[in-house]
Amino acid sequence: MKKCALFLLFPWILVCADTPPPPKENVAGIANYGAVTLDSLQGAGLVKLNGTSVLNTAHFDGSFLANDVRIGALEVSGEANLTAAIIGQKSFIFGSLQAVRSTFSKPLTLLTQKAVFTGCKIESIIVKKDTACKGKQVLELKLGTIVDGSIEFESGKGEVVLFPGSQVLGPITGGKVLKKF
């Protein structure tokens, strides 16, 4: 019996051994990805993802547009527009951010003058001091966006604009809250 059981397991092991790991991608210019799974992705220019999964880090310099994506860790220097995104690890966005129906499962670090969240769930937010910004750094939380933890503005000149249904469950330091009705 043991030989038969071993024989039955052996073909499965061969199939698993022949499965290649997801590819690592490095692109420049304009790139579009559909429903594929990648180990990691690095891009410069305009990168669009639609239904894509990136298991580890996705790093972009330029414009990043994403719809229905799953990403391990996200790093963007430029512009990020996310819809129905799930980010599993820490995220760093240095530039503008608009997120709709997206989840940031770990702390989100921003260096921005303004970020807009619509129907999002965020673990916590740190807004780095932008030395080029003389005015306020603004976070807009719309349509039921929930920040489970804290929001920290390192500049001391932060503003959280809370629209109806949105909440910050932790403390806000270095900024004030404005409620919209």
Give the pLDDT band (50/70/90) at residue 150.
Answer: very high
66-91 pLDDT, tens per residue? 999 999 999 999 999 999 999 999 99
* Contacts with 110 (C-beta within 8 Å, 6 or more apart), sequence order: 93, 94, 97, 125, 126, 127, 128, 139
Question: Three-state SS for 19?
Answer: coil
- pTM: predicted TM-score of the whole model, two decimal places: 0.86
Position 6 pLDDT exceeds 60? no
Amino acid 25: pLDDT: 81
Position 146 pLDDT exceeds 90? yes
Beta bridge partners of 85: 69
Question: Three-state SS for 135?
Answer: coil
Domain locations in the chain as residue ranges: 22-106, 112-181
